[in-house]
Amino acid sequence: MSAANNTKTWLNRPFISRRQLMLAGLETALFAVGFLLSAKAPVQPNTLTKSEIREGWKLLFDGKTTTGWRGAYKDAFPERGWQVEDGTLTIQKSDGSESQSYGDIVTVDEYSQFDLRFEFKLSEGANSGVKYFVAETTPKPAGSAFGLEFQVLDDARHPDAKLGRDGNRTVGSLYDLITAQGKTVNPIGQWNAGRVLVRGNHVEHWLNGKRVVSYERGSEAFRALVAKSKYAAPAYNANGRFGEAPKGHILLQDHGEQVAFRNIKILNK
């Protein structure tokens, strides 16, 4: 190509003015702002997103009332001990005893296949638990109602962390049966996210986004673990094999220490 043609080609190129550059920059800035505004905003506690509502999630705690809950082995919610304040459902500190001072609370409804999610905040030295497949057996036990338990505990300060076998009473564990593995726990006073997933007989515990327990309910391996635990006692098996009820309530435990709960929701499969 000749020099003249080169010059002609260069002269015919579109000229980008300063105004066009400014407009392009403005468009880029507006796109960035729009992207940020459309990004997922922080979800307010005790609410469901539009997608969760479409999927069928249900709040078990609305942040304001105790609707959907009652005392274990009772018709009504406990008059003392459990408090709804600032969007949390909190069991107050008492004497450290199990289900004696104010009592456990259970969902009115029962569940068999579900994805349960919740957040909990421990006070120093606290002990509690989230139980599932809870059956209110007869006669009523002296302590907490029977059920499988996602342990809620201050591992560093509560003596129960050193009991059981190989740490199977520490936070996130299937209490007295399976030790939580590879867990990350937030400091006392901060929120931790728990999850119990049940698909058929397969059950998982999740803690702060990590799967820490996995087992098959009713399997030979599960029954062998039960046989080595406190749940081998006849009282736990008087109404059928422990932990194998076809359905049951969700339970929040009063164990005499202050523990707060929020964002309790369930997808009933």
pLDDT in tens, 55-112: 999 999 999 999 999 999 999 999 999 999 999 999 999 988 887 789 999 999 999 9
**The pLDDT value given to residue 140:** 86
In a domain, 218, yes or no: yes
Could you tell me if 160 and 247 lie in one domain?
yes
Could you tell me if 88 and 182 lie in one domain?
yes
**The pLDDT value given to residue 5:** 52
Could you tell me if 86 and 119 lie in one domain?
yes
Banded pLDDT at 113 (limits 50, 70, 90): very high
**The pLDDT value given to residue 10:** 42
Could you tell me if 88 and 187 lie in one domain?
yes
**The pLDDT value given to residue 36:** 46
In a domain, 44, yes or no: no
11, 24, 29, 31 from 17: Cα distances, Å: 15, 11, 19, 21
In a domain, 219, yes or no: yes
Could you tell me if 27 and 122 lie in one domain?
no
Could you tell me if 69 and 147 lie in one domain?
yes
In a domain, 45, yes or no: no
Could you tell me if 34 and 89 lie in one domain?
no
Total domain count for the chain?
Answer: 2
Could you tell me if 23 and 135 lie in one domain?
no
**The pLDDT value given to residue 101:** 84
**The pLDDT value given to residue 45:** 95
Domain range for 16 = 3-38
pLDDT digits (tens, 9 = 90+) for 138-187: 888 888 999 999 999 999 999 999 999 999 999 999 999 999 999 999 99
In a domain, 250, yes or no: yes
More confident residue, 36 or 164: 164
In a domain, 101, yes or no: yes
Could you tell me if 31 and 131 lie in one domain?
no
Could you tell me if 149 and 262 lie in one domain?
yes
In a domain, 158, yes or no: yes
**Distance from C-alpha of 194 to C-alpha of 207, rounded to nearest angstrom:** 5
CATH number for position 160: 2.60.120.560
The letter for the amino acid at 163 is: L
Q: pTM to 2 decimals?
A: 0.84
In a domain, 43, yes or no: no
